[in-house]
Structure 1
């Protein structure tokens, strides 16, 4: 007896590999964002480089997934991201983030293109591009982050996306940087 298209077998689930595609933040903005993440989210948050997640999921065919991510990146164009003000997913999810004001539609398009291939991506809620500042910390820290960063405004050009996988220790590690419209410089 076979499986229906898209249906996972127990052996598929056991061989699934985590995969993430993100927009990394360029220096010197990365330094400022990392310090904000440390201030409001604690040391643990500061260890994770600031980024905008396009997709975080898994695949049972790493080679096919990588080929798909390459194709999506090659078909995309450079664009500008403008982060402005704060938002939150509270009370549903204890997160305070910077809003993606300009470039949100492009992020949404990249997300849709990425999940249209061999990358499994389960979400409880719709995709909403953002840059997390505080996550799973006490309400006072989240309130402070949301208030103090409410007028912050940062812009940068996105000319590549990062393809991540888990390393031997279980931490996310950059596997490849892919230039939009072609190879990264």
Structure 2
């Protein structure tokens, strides 16, 4: 078994996701097309491939205990000079994201890790590119607005090509993820009895 690089995040839905990805590419960020537009819950984390089933069970539990919440993005911010990042700000839903990422990294689960910086939910739109391009991203997206109801998060794996691919999506409250057919359960057995 090898190691895998995993990440957990909330995808920014369409049409916002593609638009921000295109803008990020337009600022000259080479990573733009390899990273779906997202709010990070767990930064890139190396794990042994053998723990994947445990990770999936853990995330299923985290999602089942969660509830949908409103998310709103507005305006831009930056982590410069500490870190070469320009982002769109999460102005609603930040507390829910913070709580969620703590549960994802919970000491009792398989994804325990320290963070390099204090957690700050955001949507990266430029990372590690020329200062002028970072300034442009900061200015051009200053009036950016988006809002949606966050109903799920997802587990991603980074390929050898640097591209992040979704492994599985987790709906809050243990419900089926929109667009995914629900798995059949025995009718006479209430689902809530499974722990």
TM range (shorter): 0.7 to 0.9
Check conservation: 2:69, 2:93, Cα contact below 8 A.
yes
| CA positional deviation for 1:47 | 3.6
Residue from 76, 99, 116 that aligns with 1:124: 116
- The answer as to 2:71 corresponding to 1:81 is yes
> 1:69: how far off?
0.7
Structure 2 residue 36 is the aligned partner of structure 1 residue 42: no
CA shift, 1:15, in A, is 5.2
Query: Using a 3 Å threshold, how does the CA distance of structure 1 residues 181 and 41 change in structure 2: closer, same or farther?
Result: farther
Aligned length: 172
Q: Normalized against structure 2, the TM-score is what?
A: 0.81
Deviations 1:95-142 (A, max 9, x none): 000010100000000000000021033322111100000001011011
TM-score (norm 1): 0.85
Alignment of 1:34-113 (within 5 A): 34-56=21-43, 57-60=45-48, 61-113=51-103
Q: Which moved more, 1:100-109 or 1:169-178?
A: 169-178
TM-aligned CA deviation for residue 164 of structure 1 = 1.2
Shift of 1:58: 3.3
Partner Cα separation in structure 1 for residue 158 and residue 9 of structure 2: 14
Question: How far 1:54 sits from its partner (Å)?
Answer: 0.5
Selected match of 1:139 from 112, 131, 136: 131
CA RMSD of superposed structures (Å): 1.8
Report what 2:177 is aligned to.
184
